[in-house]
Amino acid sequence: MKTWPILASIPLWCLLASCKRAEVDLPRTLAPEPAKVTVSANGFVGEINIDGGIVAVPRLHELIEPRMRGSMAETQVGAQMDIKARGVASAEGYFFQADWTSRPAGDRYLDVRGQVSTYSGGAHPMTSIEAFVWDRLGQRRLALADLLRDPSPGSAAVATLAGAAREALVAVKRARDPAYDPHKDTFIGMGPDGPFAADLAKFARNFQLVPRAADGSGGGIAFLYSPYDVGSWAEGAYEVTVPAAIAAPLLKPDASGVLR
Domains and CATH numbers, the chain: 35-142 (3.30.565.40), 145-259 (3.90.640)
Half-sphere exposure for 142 (CA within 13 Å, toward CB): 24
| Closest residue by Cα to residue 149 from 253, 248, 251 | 251
Residue 97: strand, helix, or coil: strand
d(CA 80, CA 157): 47
pLDDT for 76-108, tens place per residue? 999 999 999 999 999 999 999 999 999 999 999
Contacts of 24 (CB under 8 A, 6+ apart): 15, 16
Report pTM.
0.85
Q: Which long-range contacts (CB under 8 A, 24 or more apart) does 218-223 make?
A: 218/244, 219/243, 219/244, 219/248, 219/259, 219/260, 220/244, 220/246, 220/247, 220/248, 220/259, 221/144, 221/161, 221/247, 221/259, 222/131, 223/165, 223/168
pLDDT for 13-68, tens place per residue? 444 444 444 455 555 556 689 999 999 999 999 999 999 999 999 999 999 999 99
